[in-house]
Amino acid sequence: MAKTVLVIEDDGPIRRGVVDALRFAGYSVFDAADGATGLEIGISSDVDMVLLDIVMPGMDGFEVLEELRKVKPAVPVIMLTARGAENDRVRGLKGGADDYVVKPFSARELLARVEAVLRRSAERPRGCRSIVIAGRAIDFERCEVRLASGGRRELTTREVELVRYLASNAGRTISREEILARVWGLNGNVTTRTIDMTVARLRDKLDDNNGENEVIVTVRARGYMLGPFDAEAD
C-alpha cells in the first residue's frame, strides 16, 4: 500500500514540484499552501509523513510542528529550510523534526531523505509499554527494570521518559540538546551535564556499565541511542 505524504509549502512552484516528484515515485500525496490548513489535514488525515516548510505567512512551520506533535507525536516530519539557516534546522530538530532538507534541493535528494526517514520510523514502537533489551526487561508502566539475573530495580519517571524517547526514535542518534527539549522540556536549570549524569545512573541500574553499553549507546560527539530491542505493545 502506498505511503501518504503531506506537503505543507506556501511557494506554489516548489509545492507542485515536490507533489509531482512524490506521486511519480508512487506516494499518495496531500498538499496545503499554508500552515493552518496543513495542520488541519495532518491531524484529520492518516498520513505517514509530513514535509513542512518553515517560513510561511501566518502559522509558520515551527508552530505547525509544535501543534502536530501534541496530537501525533510519532508521525515523521522533514523540515524544508533555507540554505544557511542553521538556527532554524537546530530549532526544528529540537522541536521533534526527524530530518531537514535544504533549499534548493533535487527531487532525488528529497526522495532519498523521505525513504530513509520512513524506513527508520517503521522501526519505532507504537503504544509501547515495555521493551526487552540485552536481557533486561524495562517496564514503562511499572517504572522498573527486570534484570537477566532475576533482580528488579525501580526507575524514576525521568529515567523512564528518557528510555521511552530513545526507544521511540530507534535507529537514530539523539543529541543532548534534543533530549533537553523533548524529555526535560528545556528547563532553564538543566544542562547537558545533567543528561550525562542521568544516563550514568540509569546504566548503573541496568547493569550497563561493563564497557560495552549494550542498552544506552554513546555516539561520540553526537549523543545517545538505544541498542536493538523488542517492544511489547499495549
* Burial tier of 99 (Cβ tally within 10 Å: 0-12, 13-18, 19+): middle
Domain ranges of the chain: 4-121, 128-233
Alpha helices in the chain (DSSP H): 12-24, 35-44, 61-71, 86-94, 107-121, 157-168, 176-182, 192-205
Which pTM value belongs to this model?
0.58
pLDDT tier at 119, thresholds 50, 70, 90: confident
For residue 43, what are the contacts with CB-CB under 8 A and spacing of at least 6? 68, 71, 72
| pLDDT tens profile 122-140 | 655 555 688 999 999 999 8
pLDDT tier at 10, thresholds 50, 70, 90: very high
| pLDDT tens profile 65-79 | 989 887 777 788 999
Helix axes of 12-24 and 107-121: crossing angle, nearest 10 degrees? 60
pLDDT tier at 233, thresholds 50, 70, 90: low
Are the C-beta atoms of residues 231 and 124 closer than 8 Å to each other? Answer: no
CA angle 18, 21, 23 (to 5 degrees): 105
**pLDDT of 188:** 55
CA angle 74, 32, 58 (to 5 degrees): 90
CATH architecture of 128-233: Orthogonal Bundle (1.10)
Q: Which residue has the higher pLDDT, 212 or 9?
A: 9
Domain 4-121 in CATH 1.10.150.110? The answer is no
Q: What is the spatial order of strands in the sheet that 49-53 belongs to? A: 28-32, 4-8, 49-53, 77-82, 99-103
Look over the chain and give the mean of its residue pLDDT values, rounded to a whole number.
87
Are the C-beta atoms of residues 62 and 97 closer than 8 Å to each other? Answer: no
| pLDDT tens profile 81-94 | 886 667 877 788 77
| pLDDT tens profile 31-53 | 999 999 999 999 998 899 999 99
**pLDDT of 13:** 96
* Burial tier of 87 (Cβ tally within 10 Å: 0-12, 13-18, 19+): exposed
**pLDDT of 124:** 55
- How far from chain centre, in Å, is Cα 171? 10
**pLDDT of 49:** 95
Question: 16-44: b or e for each residue (b if 16 or more CB lie within 10 Å)?
Answer: ebbbebbeebebebbbbbbbebbbebbee
**pLDDT of 132:** 93
Q: What share of the chain in percent tops pLDDT 70?
A: 91
Give first-to-last CA distance, the chain, whole Å. Answer: 25
Residue 62 predicted with pLDDT over 90: yes
Q: Which residue has the higher pLDDT, 108 or 72?
A: 108
